[in-house]
Amino acid sequence: MKICKVMGFATASLKIEGLAPYKLLIVKGIDDEGEPTGETLLAVDTFGAGLSEVVAVVTGSTASKAIHNKDLPVDAAVVGIIDHVSINKKEIYSKNREE
């Protein structure tokens, strides 16, 4: 799993039928300071995450399992909305501080 921040949203007027109920998120991994870094991914949203929220993302074949349809061509999926992240006793993200 990867810890990512929701950077934005993508819309597709045409997509495979099985993906119709899902929102598409633009996510980017975060570093040890909580700052966005690395590659940008397009992920299927299974929870209704909002802009700037920190989420858990799975990639590869596990992503299709997350949406309960291994036949859909999904390479990244949000599997959780994260409330708190701390690394080496240092808090780098807290959902409560964002609100």
The CATH code of the domain that includes 78 is: 2.40.50.220
The confidence score (pLDDT) of residue 97 equals 77
Number of domains composing the chain = 1
Q: Confirm if 39 and 57 have CB atoms less than 8 A apart.
A: no
Q: Which amino acid is at 69?
A: N
Instruction: Please give the residue range of the domain that contains residue 13.
Output: 2-98
The confidence score (pLDDT) of residue 99 equals 54
The confidence score (pLDDT) of residue 96 equals 87
Calculate mean pLDDT across residues 14-42: 92
d(CA 67, CA 64): 5
The confidence score (pLDDT) of residue 59 equals 95
The confidence score (pLDDT) of residue 55 equals 97
| 3-class SS of residue 20 | coil
Q: Confirm if 52 and 36 have CB atoms less than 8 A apart.
A: no
d(CA 57, CA 75): 10
Q: Quote the pTM value.
A: 0.90
Could you give the percent of the chain with pLDDT greater than 90?
66
